[in-house]
Amino acid sequence: MLWTICDEGKEDNFVTPQESARDVTVGEENAIDWASRAPNVWADKAAAIVSAGGNFGGGRSQYHLRQIGVFLDLHFINKPEFFIRAFEPPAKFDAQGDLIDPEAKEKLKAILLALQAFTLRLQGKC
C-alpha cells in the first residue's frame, strides 16, 4: 500500500508492503509503474517503509522496494526500520485493526518523525 502524506507543502511517501507475496503486489507494482511515468512523481521524494506480518516476508518486500526506489530516484530513510510481528504476543492490533501495542506505536512514531526530518532536509528546509 502506498500513501502520500502532504502537510504544509511537504510531501512524504509512506509504503506498507504486503507480507504474503514476500515481494511487491501486482497492485503496488502497477501504482509504482504509473506514477513513475513522465513526469516521475516519485523523483527526489522522501519515503519510509513499514510492514506487519507473521514471519519476515514483509521485510523481504521492504528490501525489494528499496531496490525499486533506486530506479525511481525515491529516497528512503535508512533508520529506524520497522518489521512488526503482528501475530506474536502481546497483541499488536485490536479487532478493528488499530495498532494498540505501545512499543510498536513508539517505533512507528520514530519512523514518522525521521521521515519528516528527512523530507525537510531533502527540501533544504533544515
How far is the C-alpha of 76 from the C-alpha of 49, rounded, in Å?
Answer: 8
pTM: 0.75
Beta strands in 8-53 (DSSP E): 10-15, 45-49, 51-53
Does residue 82 carry a pLDDT above 80? yes
* Residue predicted with more confidence, 21 or 83: 83
Q: Per 3-state DSSP, what percentage of the chain is helix, strand, and coil (rounded to 5)?
A: 40, 20, 40
Averaged pLDDT for residues 63-89: 87
Domains of the chain, with CATH numbers?
Answer: 2-122 (3.40.50.360)
How far is the C-alpha of 64 from the C-alpha of 45, rounded, in Å?
Answer: 18
* pLDDT band with cut points at 50, 70 and 90 for residue 114: very high
* pLDDT band with cut points at 50, 70 and 90 for residue 102: very high
How far is the C-alpha of 20 from the C-alpha of 36, rounded, in Å?
Answer: 25
The pLDDT tens digits of the residues spanning 53-69 come to 777 767 777 888 888 88
61 within 8 A of 51, measured Cβ to Cβ: yes
How far is the C-alpha of 59 from the C-alpha of 51, rounded, in Å?
Answer: 7
CA distances from 46 to 25, 41, 90, 122, 124 (A): 21, 11, 32, 7, 12
Averaged pLDDT for residues 31-58: 83
